[in-house]
Amino acid sequence: MKTQGHALILTMSILLCLLFPFSLFAAEGKDPESLISTTCSTCHKFQGEGESRFNLKAPDLMWGGSKFQRDWLIKWLTGKEPMLYAKSYRWDQSQQPEQHMTVSQQEAEGLADYFETHLQDPRVKPGSIDMSTFSKQEAKFGEEIFTQHSCIGCHQIMVDGKKTGGPQSASFFNSGKRLKADWIYRFNSGPPDFVPHSGEFVGDVSALGLRYVTGFIATRGDEDFPYYEPWKSSKFDHPNVENGAKIYQEYCAQCHGAEGKGDGPAASGLEPKPAVHANIPFEKIPLDYLYNVIYYGGKAVGKSPLMPYWGLTIGETEGVSDVIAYLKTTFKGAPEVASTASPSSGPSGVCPQPRNTKQAPGKFRNLTSPLPDSQEHIKAGEKLYHETAQPLACTQCHGPKGDGQGPMGAALNPHPRNFTCGETMKDISDGQMYWIIKNGSAGTGMMAFSGMPDDQIWQVIQYLRTLAQ
- DSSP for 331-370, please give it: -B-----GGGS-GGG--TT-SS----PPPPPHHHHT---S
Give the mean model confidence (pLDDT) for residues 132-152.
96
DSSP H helices in 78-135: 105-118
Tell me, what's the pLDDT at 346?
44
Residues 6+ apart with CB under 8 A from 168: 87, 91, 153, 154
SS3 content of the chain, % helix, strand, coil (to 5): 50, 5, 50
For the ranges 44-48, 240-244, 447-451, the lowest mean pLDDT is seen at 447-451
- Residue 336: CB atoms within 10 A of its CB come to 18
Give the mean model confidence (pLDDT) for residues 97-104.
89
Tell me, what's the pLDDT at 348?
54
Residues of the chain above pLDDT 90, percent:
75
User: Are the C-beta atoms of residues 106 and 32 closer than 8 Å to each other?
Assistant: no
385 burial type by CB count under 10 A (0-12 exposed, 13-18 middle, 19+ buried): buried
The amino acid present at 107, given as its one-letter code, is E
Per-residue exposure over 39-58, b if at least 16 CB sit within 10 Å of its own CB, e if not:
bbebbbbbeeebeebeebbb
pLDDT score of 339 more than 80: no
User: Are the C-beta atoms of residues 98 and 23 closer than 8 Å to each other?
Assistant: yes
The amino acid present at 100, given as its one-letter code, is H
Tell me, what's the pLDDT at 378?
97
Tell me, what's the pLDDT at 9?
36
Tell me: the pLDDT tens digits for 231-282?
Answer: 999 889 999 999 999 999 999 999 999 999 999 999 999 988 999 999 999 9
- Give the distance, in angstroms, between the CA of residue 458 and the centroid of all CA atoms in the same chain: 21
Give the mean model confidence (pLDDT) for residues 285-295.
96
User: What average pLDDT does the chain have?
Assistant: 89
Give the mean model confidence (pLDDT) for residues 82-89.
91
Q: How far apart are CA 10 and CA 28, in angstroms?
A: 17
3-state DSSP assignment of residue 439: helix
pLDDT score of 57 more than 60: yes
3-state DSSP assignment of residue 430: helix
Tell me, what's the pLDDT at 14?
37
Give the mean model confidence (pLDDT) for residues 187-197.
95
pLDDT score of 305 more than 70: yes
Tell me, what's the pLDDT at 345?
41
pLDDT score of 459 more than 70: yes
Band of pLDDT at residue 120, cut at 50, 70 and 90:
very high
pLDDT score of 364 more than 90: no
Band of pLDDT at residue 349, cut at 50, 70 and 90:
low
pLDDT score of 191 more than 80: yes
Q: How far apart are CA 348 and CA 452, in angstroms?
A: 25
Give the mean model confidence (pLDDT) for residues 130-134.
97
Q: How far apart are CA 442 and CA 51, in angstroms?
A: 50
Q: How far apart are CA 46 and CA 175, in angstroms?
A: 22
Nearest-5° angle of CA 64, CA 67, CA 68? 85
For the entire predicted model, the pTM comes to: 0.83
pLDDT score of 12 more than 90: no
The amino acid present at 459, given as its one-letter code, is Q
Tell me, what's the pLDDT at 131?
98
pLDDT score of 19 more than 80: no
Give the mean model confidence (pLDDT) for residues 427-444.
92
Band of pLDDT at residue 29, cut at 50, 70 and 90:
low
Tell me, what's the pLDDT at 160?
81
Tell me, what's the pLDDT at 351?
86
Q: How far apart are CA 358 and CA 356, in angstroms?
A: 6
Tell me, what's the pLDDT at 174?
95
The amino acid present at 271, given as its one-letter code, is E
Band of pLDDT at residue 114, cut at 50, 70 and 90:
very high
pLDDT score of 21 more than 70: no
Tell me, what's the pLDDT at 418?
93
Tell me, what's the pLDDT at 26?
44
Q: How far apart are CA 250 and CA 413, in angstroms?
A: 24
pLDDT score of 193 more than 90: yes
Residues of the chain above pLDDT 70, percent:
91
